[in-house]
Amino acid sequence: MGPGAWKLSLLLFLTFWTCSQALAKNPILSRIRRATENDGDNKRCSYTFLVPEQKITGPICAARGYTTDKDRVTRLDVAAVRDLLSKQRRETETLKLVVDVDGNLVNEMKLLRKESRNMNSRVTQLYMQLLHEIIRKRDNSLELAQLETRILNATTESLRLASRYRDLEAKYAALSAVVNNQSALIGELEERCAQVYSRRHDHPPLGPPLVQVVPENIPVNVPRFTNEIQRDNARFSRERGSRSGPAPTSGSIEKPIQRNFSTEGPFRDCLDAQEAGHSTSGMYLIKPDEADRPVQVWCEQDIDNGGWTVLQTRKDGSVNFFRNWENYKSGFGNIDGEYWLGLESIYSLGRQSDYKLLIELEDWMGKKVYAQYGSFHLEPASQDYRLRLGTYQGNAGDSLSSHNGKQFTTLDRDKDAFSGNCAHFHKGGWWYNACGQTNLNGVWYNGGVYRSKFQDGIFWADYGGGFYSMKSVRMMIRPID
């Protein structure tokens, strides 16, 4: 068989298979098949294949001969089948288009849903931000209201304090007037006493000889020239938190609100406290070996290796040092301000070891000088606490050696070498000679150079002279190394 025969056989087989599938799926073709089968078992279905000149889209199956059976397939049926197939094809294409459109719609719907979810999240976020902003503004409003209330309270307090300050100014003016009147009265009484003394002794009393030393290094650029005594204790109470000195009849050291205070101890002295590990300057409790009771002192641990027990401090005029014998014996003042430790305590300290004395002086220009003595102690009360000093060294000048060996003098116990009472003229208690070259317990004058009938300021003759009152003074002792 040639290639043409094989092609024709293959064409016939495909046509027959397609017809069989169409008969199985199409009711009309099934009807044709049943009509053919009804002709009997001996009848066979014969097919005639027509190949017209025009292109045939599918096979045409026709029965041999003519019949009037209602199940016989005609050309009209084939045309109907073709029309149905064409309609179904069009519907299929339409459905495809619809499916494509629906798919696009579904995709768009998915995108819209996603955008809707994003929009909901954004709306929720904006809502939370708006809520937070509302809460914050409400809190700011509350804070603003509280601030306004505090401003009103502060304004009211300021007005009250201003009124109180005006009242205090009026009281201060009244007290100043009283002090001036008293000063005038005291001056008048002194003149009368002088007159009485003159009538009794046929010659007027002379004051103590003035200090003739005029040091070359006297501070000349002083802030102001004044003779005002600083007695405004209320001001010092506000600034330093300490109380003013006791009345001249009281005899105990006052104990203000304590700061830098060690609860340990008591120690023998401040060097003993330093050796126990206390390297901070402050208030400590000490009890000398032969003392009856412990006392509080200020320990200076920041200069010259520390260990200094402060005996006396002058720095602001907040404490009155014009005291009687009992006051100077027991001590007075404020430990963290101006104070005098007490002659009995100083005597007890000096008996337990060999001590040296350091005197620190500060002028009104802020310059500090010192005088140090190689040994220091006092004799007992039976000897009126006579002063015993060693050799001098320092840069302040030696103004204390002339007081060496002198007894302590107060207004009510005169032990000096002058015919009168040096404590009366110098307004303090000291180891006066006649009367001497220094007066560290005198009146605290503001400004340095002062005017006074007698030299009653806190002076050190070899530094500043007798009419220059020092700004601050400290006396302190430490065991000899």
**For the chain, which ranges sit under pLDDT 50?**
23, 28-32, 35-36, 39-43, 66, 203-204, 221-259
Domain ranges of the chain: 82-196, 270-479
At 379, which helix (H) or strand (E)? none
- CATH for 270-479 is 3.90.215.10
What integer pLDDT is reported at residue 289 of this predicted model?
87
Eight-state DSSP code of residue 356: E
Are 467 and 222 contacting, i.e. CB atoms less than 8 angstroms apart? no
Q: Cα–Cα distance between 19 and 78 in angstroms, integer?
A: 12
Q: Cα–Cα distance between 313 and 441 in angstroms, integer?
A: 9
What integer pLDDT is reported at residue 401 of this predicted model?
94
Q: Cα–Cα distance between 285 and 216 in angstroms, integer?
A: 42
* Residue 419 zone, left/alpha/beta (φ > 0; ψ -120 to 50; rest): alpha
**Could you read off the pLDDT of 255-290 as tens digits, one per residue?**
443 445 666 778 999 999 999 999 999 999 999 988
Helix (H, G, I), strand (E, B) or coil at 8: helix
What integer pLDDT is reported at residue 308 of this predicted model?
96
What integer pLDDT is reported at residue 173 of this predicted model?
83
> Taking the model in full, what pTM does it have?
0.54
**What per-residue string of b and e applies to 437-466 under the rule 16 or more CB within 10 Å gives b?**
bbbbbbbbbbbbbbebebbbbbbbbbbbbb
What integer pLDDT is reported at residue 232 of this predicted model?
40
**Could you read off the pLDDT of 24-64 as tens digits, one per residue?**
555 544 444 554 455 444 445 555 555 555 555 555 555 55
The amino acid present at 138, given as its one-letter code, is R
